[in-house]
Amino acid sequence: MKISRIFKWLKARPGLWLSYLALVLTSLLGFCFFRFPLNFTRVFGRENIPKKGRRVLFVCNHISMFDSFLIGVSASFPSIFTRPGRPPLNFADKKNYFTTWYIKLFLKLLRTVPVESRKDPKLLRRYKDLIENNNLLIFYQGTRSYDLNLIKNGPGYLIASAAEKITVIPVFHQGIERIFSRGGPKTHGTWRWLPRNFFRKPLVIFGPAINFSQEMQNPEMKKRILAINKKIISSIMALQALATNRQAVH
Protein backbone atom coordinates (compact mmCIF):
# COMPACT_ATOMS: atom_id res chain seq x y z
CA MET A 1 0.00 0.00 0.00
CA LYS A 2 1.49 3.32 -1.09
CA ILE A 3 1.68 6.27 1.31
CA SER A 4 -0.88 8.23 -0.73
CA ARG A 5 -3.31 5.32 -0.46
CA ILE A 6 -2.82 5.19 3.30
CA PHE A 7 -3.79 8.84 3.70
CA LYS A 8 -6.73 8.35 1.34
CA TRP A 9 -7.85 5.38 3.44
CA LEU A 10 -7.59 7.41 6.64
CA LYS A 11 -9.24 10.48 5.13
CA ALA A 12 -12.32 8.42 4.38
CA ARG A 13 -12.38 7.35 8.03
CA PRO A 14 -11.67 10.46 10.17
CA GLY A 15 -12.24 8.56 13.41
CA LEU A 16 -9.37 6.21 12.55
CA TRP A 17 -6.70 8.92 12.51
CA LEU A 18 -6.23 8.78 16.27
CA SER A 19 -6.32 5.00 16.18
CA TYR A 20 -3.70 4.92 13.44
CA LEU A 21 -1.41 7.28 15.36
CA ALA A 22 -1.93 5.35 18.59
CA LEU A 23 -1.17 2.04 16.88
CA VAL A 24 1.95 3.35 15.16
CA LEU A 25 3.35 5.09 18.24
CA THR A 26 2.54 2.16 20.53
CA SER A 27 4.09 -0.26 18.04
CA LEU A 28 7.23 1.85 17.84
CA LEU A 29 7.50 2.01 21.63
CA GLY A 30 6.67 -1.68 21.84
CA PHE A 31 9.45 -2.50 19.39
CA CYS A 32 11.93 -0.48 21.45
CA PHE A 33 10.78 -2.22 24.61
CA PHE A 34 10.36 -5.81 23.45
CA ARG A 35 12.71 -6.13 20.48
CA PHE A 36 15.54 -3.60 20.87
CA PRO A 37 17.20 -2.05 22.86
CA LEU A 38 15.43 -2.72 26.20
CA ASN A 39 14.76 -6.40 25.54
CA PHE A 40 15.69 -8.78 22.75
CA THR A 41 12.66 -10.80 21.69
CA ARG A 42 13.44 -13.48 19.11
CA VAL A 43 10.70 -13.90 16.52
CA PHE A 44 10.40 -16.87 14.17
CA GLY A 45 7.87 -17.79 11.50
CA ARG A 46 6.78 -14.32 10.39
CA GLU A 47 6.68 -15.67 6.84
CA ASN A 48 3.67 -17.74 7.95
CA ILE A 49 1.56 -14.62 8.59
CA PRO A 50 -0.83 -13.91 5.69
CA LYS A 51 -0.60 -10.48 4.10
CA LYS A 52 -4.27 -9.61 4.47
CA GLY A 53 -6.45 -7.70 6.89
CA ARG A 54 -9.41 -10.02 7.41
CA ARG A 55 -10.31 -13.59 8.31
CA VAL A 56 -6.97 -14.42 9.92
CA LEU A 57 -7.22 -15.90 13.41
CA PHE A 58 -4.15 -15.98 15.63
CA VAL A 59 -4.53 -18.55 18.45
CA CYS A 60 -1.95 -18.07 21.18
CA ASN A 61 -1.05 -19.21 24.68
CA HIS A 62 -1.54 -16.69 27.48
CA ILE A 63 1.04 -15.85 30.17
CA SER A 64 0.87 -12.19 31.19
CA MET A 65 -1.21 -9.01 30.93
CA PHE A 66 1.05 -7.74 28.14
CA ASP A 67 0.93 -10.71 25.78
CA SER A 68 -1.17 -8.89 23.18
CA PHE A 69 1.45 -6.11 22.95
CA LEU A 70 4.26 -8.63 22.46
CA ILE A 71 2.36 -10.60 19.82
CA GLY A 72 1.16 -7.45 18.06
CA VAL A 73 4.65 -5.99 17.78
CA SER A 74 6.14 -9.32 16.72
CA ALA A 75 3.52 -9.81 13.99
CA SER A 76 2.93 -6.29 12.67
CA PHE A 77 6.01 -4.10 13.08
CA PRO A 78 7.09 -2.31 10.91
CA SER A 79 4.38 -3.28 8.38
CA ILE A 80 1.79 -1.45 10.49
CA PHE A 81 3.06 1.86 9.05
CA THR A 82 1.78 0.95 5.59
CA ARG A 83 -0.73 -1.79 6.45
CA PRO A 84 -2.70 -0.42 9.42
CA GLY A 85 -5.57 -2.82 8.82
CA ARG A 86 -3.53 -5.97 9.39
CA PRO A 87 -2.88 -5.94 13.17
CA PRO A 88 -5.41 -8.23 14.86
CA LEU A 89 -8.15 -7.09 17.18
CA ASN A 90 -7.58 -8.43 20.67
CA PHE A 91 -9.89 -9.01 23.61
CA ALA A 92 -9.42 -7.97 27.24
CA ASP A 93 -11.38 -8.43 30.43
CA LYS A 94 -13.47 -5.32 31.00
CA LYS A 95 -13.18 -5.36 34.80
CA ASN A 96 -9.44 -5.91 34.83
CA TYR A 97 -8.34 -3.52 32.08
CA PHE A 98 -11.04 -0.94 31.30
CA THR A 99 -10.81 0.72 34.70
CA THR A 100 -10.57 4.48 33.92
CA TRP A 101 -11.79 6.67 31.07
CA TYR A 102 -8.29 7.30 29.72
CA ILE A 103 -7.35 3.62 29.76
CA LYS A 104 -10.65 2.84 28.04
CA LEU A 105 -9.87 5.42 25.35
CA PHE A 106 -6.31 4.18 24.91
CA LEU A 107 -7.35 0.53 24.59
CA LYS A 108 -10.14 1.42 22.19
CA LEU A 109 -7.65 3.25 19.97
CA LEU A 110 -5.50 0.11 20.04
CA ARG A 111 -8.45 -1.92 18.76
CA THR A 112 -8.94 -3.79 22.03
CA VAL A 113 -12.42 -5.21 22.53
CA PRO A 114 -13.78 -5.28 26.11
CA VAL A 115 -15.13 -8.63 27.28
CA GLU A 116 -17.60 -9.00 30.15
CA SER A 117 -17.05 -12.73 30.55
CA ARG A 118 -15.45 -15.49 28.52
CA LYS A 119 -18.58 -17.53 29.23
CA ASP A 120 -20.86 -14.95 27.61
CA PRO A 121 -22.58 -16.66 24.63
CA LYS A 122 -22.75 -13.29 22.87
CA LEU A 123 -18.94 -13.30 22.70
CA LEU A 124 -18.98 -16.25 20.29
CA ARG A 125 -21.32 -14.41 17.94
CA ARG A 126 -19.15 -11.33 18.27
CA TYR A 127 -16.12 -13.32 17.14
CA LYS A 128 -18.02 -14.31 13.99
CA ASP A 129 -19.08 -10.74 13.25
CA LEU A 130 -15.66 -9.17 13.86
CA ILE A 131 -13.57 -11.60 11.83
CA GLU A 132 -15.52 -10.80 8.67
CA ASN A 133 -13.60 -7.52 8.30
CA ASN A 134 -10.71 -7.95 10.73
CA ASN A 135 -7.99 -10.26 11.92
CA LEU A 136 -8.38 -11.56 15.47
CA LEU A 137 -6.00 -12.58 18.25
CA ILE A 138 -7.56 -15.02 20.72
CA PHE A 139 -5.81 -16.51 23.74
CA TYR A 140 -7.29 -19.97 23.41
CA GLN A 141 -6.86 -20.93 27.09
CA GLY A 142 -9.26 -18.17 28.13
CA THR A 143 -7.04 -17.22 31.06
CA ARG A 144 -3.36 -16.91 31.96
CA SER A 145 -2.00 -20.41 32.31
CA TYR A 146 1.08 -22.50 31.67
CA ASP A 147 -1.17 -25.48 30.88
CA LEU A 148 -1.24 -25.68 27.08
CA ASN A 149 -3.94 -28.38 27.21
CA LEU A 150 -6.43 -25.90 28.64
CA ILE A 151 -8.76 -24.56 25.95
CA LYS A 152 -12.06 -22.71 25.70
CA ASN A 153 -14.52 -23.29 22.89
CA GLY A 154 -14.30 -19.79 21.39
CA PRO A 155 -11.73 -20.48 18.65
CA GLY A 156 -13.15 -23.94 17.94
CA TYR A 157 -16.68 -22.61 17.59
CA LEU A 158 -15.54 -19.78 15.34
CA ILE A 159 -13.67 -22.14 13.02
CA ALA A 160 -16.34 -24.86 13.06
CA SER A 161 -19.22 -22.52 12.27
CA ALA A 162 -17.48 -20.35 9.67
CA ALA A 163 -19.29 -20.17 6.34
CA GLU A 164 -16.03 -19.10 4.68
CA LYS A 165 -12.64 -20.60 5.46
CA ILE A 166 -10.63 -18.84 8.18
CA THR A 167 -6.83 -18.86 8.12
CA VAL A 168 -5.69 -19.99 11.58
CA ILE A 169 -2.13 -19.19 12.67
CA PRO A 170 -0.89 -20.89 15.87
CA VAL A 171 1.38 -18.75 18.06
CA PHE A 172 3.54 -19.84 20.98
CA HIS A 173 5.54 -17.50 23.17
CA GLN A 174 7.55 -17.71 26.35
CA GLY A 175 9.84 -15.49 28.40
CA ILE A 176 7.60 -12.46 28.91
CA GLU A 177 6.99 -13.66 32.48
CA ARG A 178 10.62 -12.75 33.17
CA ILE A 179 9.80 -9.14 32.29
CA PHE A 180 6.31 -8.65 33.75
CA SER A 181 4.35 -10.29 36.53
CA ARG A 182 1.47 -12.45 35.39
CA GLY A 183 -1.05 -9.99 36.89
CA GLY A 184 -4.74 -10.74 37.05
CA PRO A 185 -7.97 -9.65 38.73
CA LYS A 186 -6.67 -10.49 42.21
CA THR A 187 -3.51 -8.41 41.89
CA HIS A 188 -3.51 -4.73 42.70
CA GLY A 189 -1.23 -1.74 42.62
CA THR A 190 0.83 0.10 40.05
CA TRP A 191 3.63 -2.46 40.23
CA ARG A 192 1.71 -5.02 38.16
CA TRP A 193 1.87 -2.64 35.18
CA LEU A 194 5.62 -2.07 35.48
CA PRO A 195 8.45 -4.26 34.15
CA ARG A 196 10.52 -6.16 36.69
CA ASN A 197 13.49 -6.80 34.41
CA PHE A 198 15.13 -5.64 31.20
CA PHE A 199 17.48 -7.16 28.61
CA ARG A 200 15.57 -10.46 28.53
CA LYS A 201 15.09 -12.67 25.48
CA PRO A 202 11.45 -13.70 25.08
CA LEU A 203 10.63 -16.04 22.22
CA VAL A 204 7.69 -15.82 19.79
CA ILE A 205 6.97 -18.43 17.12
CA PHE A 206 4.29 -18.13 14.42
CA GLY A 207 3.49 -21.54 13.03
CA PRO A 208 2.14 -22.41 9.57
CA ALA A 209 -1.62 -22.18 9.05
CA ILE A 210 -3.47 -25.13 10.58
CA ASN A 211 -5.30 -27.41 8.15
CA PHE A 212 -8.74 -28.31 9.56
CA SER A 213 -10.11 -29.95 6.40
CA GLN A 214 -10.45 -33.36 8.04
CA GLU A 215 -11.99 -31.97 11.25
CA MET A 216 -14.51 -29.87 9.28
CA GLN A 217 -15.94 -33.02 7.68
CA ASN A 218 -17.49 -34.07 10.99
CA PRO A 219 -21.25 -33.38 10.65
CA GLU A 220 -21.86 -32.97 14.39
CA MET A 221 -20.96 -29.49 15.67
CA LYS A 222 -19.84 -30.53 19.18
CA LYS A 223 -17.55 -33.26 17.88
CA ARG A 224 -16.24 -30.91 15.20
CA ILE A 225 -15.35 -28.28 17.82
CA LEU A 226 -13.70 -30.93 20.01
CA ALA A 227 -11.58 -32.16 17.10
CA ILE A 228 -10.61 -28.59 16.17
CA ASN A 229 -9.64 -27.86 19.78
CA LYS A 230 -7.40 -30.92 19.84
CA LYS A 231 -5.75 -29.80 16.60
CA ILE A 232 -5.12 -26.32 18.03
CA ILE A 233 -3.54 -27.75 21.18
CA SER A 234 -1.31 -30.14 19.24
CA SER A 235 -0.17 -27.30 16.97
CA ILE A 236 0.72 -25.06 19.91
CA MET A 237 2.54 -27.90 21.68
CA ALA A 238 4.53 -28.58 18.50
CA LEU A 239 5.64 -24.94 18.57
CA GLN A 240 6.57 -25.33 22.25
CA ALA A 241 8.79 -28.28 21.34
CA LEU A 242 10.37 -26.18 18.58
CA ALA A 243 10.94 -23.38 21.10
CA THR A 244 12.64 -25.81 23.47
CA ASN A 245 14.98 -26.92 20.70
CA ARG A 246 15.81 -23.32 19.79
CA GLN A 247 16.50 -22.50 23.44
CA ALA A 248 18.84 -25.48 23.64
CA VAL A 249 20.73 -24.28 20.56
CA HIS A 250 21.10 -20.75 21.92
Query: Within 10 A of 106 (CB to CB), how many other CB atoms are there?
Result: 15
Question: Contact 38/201 with Cβ under 8 angstroms?
Answer: no
Stronger pLDDT, 246 or 64, i.e. the higher one: 64
Question: Contact 116/204 with Cβ under 8 angstroms?
Answer: no
What integer is the mean pLDDT of 125-129?
Answer: 93
The model's pTM: 0.90
Domains and CATH numbers, the chain: 14-249 (3.40.1130.10)
Judged on CB neighbours under 10 Å (0-12, 13-18, 19+), 189 is: exposed
The DSSP result for 58-96, as a single string, is: EEE---STTHHHHHHHHHHTTGGGT-TT-SPEEEEEHHH
Element (H, E) at 112: strand 112-115
Query: Within 10 A of 36 (CB to CB), how many other CB atoms are there?
Result: 10
Band of residue 12 on the pLDDT scale cut at 50, 70, 90:
low
pLDDT in tens, 63-112: 998 999 999 999 999 999 988 889 999 998 888 888 888 889 899 889 99
Confidence at residue 183, expressed as pLDDT on a 0 to 100 scale? 67
Going by C-alpha positions, the residue among 1, 76, 90 that lies closest to residue 43 is 76
pLDDT in tens, 15-69: 677 888 999 999 999 999 999 999 999 999 999 999 999 999 999 999 998 999 9
Query: Within 10 A of 53 (CB to CB), how many other CB atoms are there?
Result: 15
pLDDT in tens, 171-208: 999 999 999 987 654 556 677 788 999 999 999 999 99
Pairing label, strands 42-44, 203-206: parallel
Distance set, CA 141 to CA 2, 59, 80, 147 (Å): 38, 9, 27, 8
Those residues whose C-beta lies under 8 Å from the C-beta of residue 102, and which sit 6 or more positions away, are none
Q: What angle is formed at CA 140 by the lines to CA 134 and CA 143, rounded to 5 degrees?
A: 115
Helix/strand number for the chain, H first, E second: 8, 7
Collapsing DSSP to helix, strand or coil, 15 comes out as: coil
